[in-house]
A = this chain, B = another copy of it.
Amino acid sequence: MPATRTEGGTSPGGAASAAPLGILCGGGTFPLAVARSAAQSGRRVVLVAIRGFADPAVVEGAGFPVEWVHLGKVGAMLAALRRHGCREMVIVGYVFRPRLSSLRLDWKAVGMLRWFLRARRGGDGHLLSHIASFFENEGFILRGAHEVAPEILVAEGTLGRVAMTDAEREDARIGFRLLRAIDVFDVGQAAVVAERHVQAIEAAEGTDAMIARCGEMRASGRVRLPRRSGVLVKIPKPGQDRRIDLPSIGVRTVERAAEAGLAGIAVEAGGVIAAEAEAMVRVADEKGLFIVGLAE
């Protein structure tokens, strides 16, 4: 596959940023949050929504042009981005690792297939870095969502009205150390620590399932903890491409943490995205949970 990167394509600002920003939209509300933030900074935006993952109720009707594509129609994605004159793009929202037969591959995608096949052997980090280099190879400048919408990153400090105790801060530190100890294994980016004891570590099941497990362990009596205890910790993997795989927290994260009886959420400041931060903080305040960004 020949590199078609143009001279302008390597410039971070100028012509490329005057052109509309292409947002490849997976699931969740996060793509729209990024689109709105970029638009507020004066940027034109085009949404390229992936069928089966992007939520029509989220991406449609927000005032942005929307192009729907199948995940396997990589040629159509590239064409949509080029048709709108995009030079820069971001990839946001979740896309589960797909079954190949469901991808509806086009010829461009068949050329990309070796990336997917190689990536299936590794962790998600590998998959995503292959996707990133594919789009760059096609001449696009891949930006991180935090680059086009920097205010979406959780900054250092307490986000809502609830503060964390010193003991909870120590739990968070234990969790951070644990996650850093396993980062080379390309597993999950989250864990739950309560009273200096690691309750759960995320691997392939995802953060929501891990949080739910903590609630189940308490409900079944397997784990005995005071009401509202335990800290959900989340950090980015050091080696990962932050442009496409920053971990995120949102309203749903807070709701699940509350259901599981946790006391709050601690993330690495500047390393985790808060989708719908305002709504998330409102829910956290209502439920009495803290949300804190901790400097490394």
Q: Report A's interface with B, CB cutoff 8 A.
A: 96-97, 99, 120-123, 174, 177-178, 181-182, 184-187, 191, 195-201, 203-206, 209, 213, 217, 221-224
Complex contacts, A196 vs chain B, CB 8 Å = 121-122
Q: Assess the B213–A205 pair: CB atoms within 8 A.
A: yes
A70 CA to B122 CA, complexed, in Å? 49
**How many subunits of this chain does the assembly comprise?**
2
- Report the separation of the CA atoms of residues A78 and B187 in the bound assembly, to the nearest whole angstrom: 46
Hey, which chain B residues are within 8 Å of A203, CB to CB?
Answer: 191, 198-201
A28 to chain B, nearest CB (A): 16
Are B99 and A197 neighbours in the complex by a CB distance under 8 Å?
A: no
Not counting A178-B185, A204-B222, a sample of 4 additional A-B residue pairs whose C-beta atoms are within 8 angstroms of each other reads A121-B195, A186-B197, A191-B203, A198-B204
- In the complex, are the beta carbons of A205 and B197 less than 8 A apart? no
A205 touches which of B122, B187, B200, B204 (Cβ 8 Å) = B200
Among A122, A174, A185, chain B packs the most CB atoms within 10 A around the CB of A185
Distance (whole angstroms) from the CB of A166 to the closest CB of chain B: 14
In the complex, what distance in Å separates the CA atom of A222 from the CA atom of B205? 8
Q: Which residue of B lies closest to A191 (CB)?
A: B203
Is there contact, CB below 8 Å, between B204 and A197? yes
| Docked CA distance A221–B177 (Å) | 31
Q: How far is the CB of A260 from chain B (nearest CB, A)?
A: 13
> B residues within 8 A CB of A217?
204-205
